[in-house]
């Protein structure tokens, strides 16, 4: 389980959210949604301990995520970053302490990604673990705007008992979710 409690975060002078509480449960597909620029990706980064909150806390299975504990917690996570071409302004976290699984093209089927331990399947998607359902000790999957082709795998990971948190605006993800949290820009809040 991943929990944010009373979280407030300001980036570059802009408050993205205030007193936000999110609970992503084991065995459930939790979706973070909202318009572009509302802080979906930033919220995921805070859940992984790459960004500290101004106020509030993040906990993993009831244990507080801190700058000192974040590296240990990330070892139990799989991160699927946004499928964007890296540029100088693209956030590429130091993920030496966690699995990073990309949906990539241009790699021969069955080839192993040495950096992540993930294997490319026939359908062109990465499978973490040696076979479906084998997550090699991973308990949490965090996916940032995955394509619709990954929905089945993410639903299966939740069905297998993992905590799955996805940032997405896609209708198919919103329909499949067990829980949806919508982030709004400050001017939209009532």
Query: DSSP class of residue 65?
Result: P
CATH number of the domain where residue 175 is located: 3.40.50.300
Task: Name the residue range of residue 145's domain.
Answer: 2-188
**Whole-prediction pTM:** 0.78
Q: Would you state the pLDDT for residue 134?
A: 58
Q: Would you call 108 exposed, middle or buried from its count of C-beta atoms within 10 A (0-12, 13-18, 19+)?
A: exposed
Contacts of 125 (CB under 8 A, 6+ apart): 103, 149, 150, 153
Q: Would you state the pLDDT for residue 108?
A: 32
How many structural domains is the chain composed of? 1
Degrees, nearest 5: CA angle 122-125-128: 105
Strands 63-64 and 118-120: unpaired
Instruction: Return averaged pLDDT per consecutive 10 residues of the chain, 190 residues in all.
Output: 96 91 97 94 93 96 93 87 55 58 38 43 46 68 89 91 96 97 70
């Amino acid at each position: 389980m991943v929990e944010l409690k009373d979280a407030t975060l300001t980036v570059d002078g802009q408050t993205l959210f205030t007193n936000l509480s999110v609970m992503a449960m084991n065995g459930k597909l939790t979706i973070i949604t909202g318009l572009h620029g509302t802080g979906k990706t930033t919220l995921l980064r805070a859940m992984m301990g790459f960004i500290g909150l101004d106020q509030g806390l993040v906990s993993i299975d009831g244990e507080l995520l801190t700058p000192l504990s974040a590296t240990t917690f990330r070892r139990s996570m799989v991160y699927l970053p946004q499928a964007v071409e890296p540029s100088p302004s693209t956030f590429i976290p130091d993920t030496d302490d966690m699995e990073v699984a990309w949906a990539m093209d241009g790699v021969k089927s069955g080839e192993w990604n040495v950096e992540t331990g993930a294997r490319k399947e026939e359908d062109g998607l990465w499978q973490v673990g040696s076979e479906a359902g084998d997550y090699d000790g991973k308990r949490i999957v965090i996916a940032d705007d995955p394509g619709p082709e990954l929905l089945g795998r993410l639903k299966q990971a939740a069905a297998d008992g993992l905590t799955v948190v996805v940032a997405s605006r896609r209708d198919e993800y919103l329909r499949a979710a067990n829980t949806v949290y919508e982030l709004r820009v400050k001017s939209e809040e009532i």
